[in-house]
Amino acid sequence: MRLSKLLALSLFTAAPLAAQAYNYPGLQTPRIVDREYNFAAASAGNAGTSLVFQWREGLSADWQFSLDGGIAAPKVGNTRVLLAGGIAWQWMRATADMPFDIAATGSLGFSSGDSYTVVRIPVGIAVGHTFKLDNGNELTPFVHPRLSFDHCSACVGSGTKLDVDVDVGVNYEITPQVALRLAAILGGTSYVGTGNGIGFSVAWTPKGLKKF
pLDDT in tens, 109-138: 998 887 788 898 999 999 999 999 998 899
Judge: domain 2-204, CATH 1.10.150: no
Pairing of strands 159-173, 63-73: unpaired
CB 115 within 8 A of CB 99: no
Contact 38/57 with Cβ under 8 angstroms? no
In sequence order, the 6+-apart residues with CB closer than 8 A to the CB of 210 are: 34
Q: Domain limits of the chain? A: 2-204
Cα 168 to Cα 23: distance, rounded to the nearest angstrom: 14
**Do the bridges between strand 131-132 and strand 101-113 make them parallel or antiparallel, or are there none, so unpaired?**
unpaired
Give the pLDDT of residue 10: 38
- Identity at 164, one-letter amino acid code: V
Listing DSSP states for 118-144 in one string gives EEEEEEEEEEE--EE-TTS-EEEEEEE
pLDDT in tens, 18-77: 466 678 889 999 999 999 999 999 998 888 899 999 999 999 999 999 999 999 998 888
Closest CA to 25 of 154, 145, 156: 145
Q: Is the pTM of this model over 0.75?
A: yes
176 neighbors 209 (Cβ within 8 angstroms): no
Amino acid at 49: T
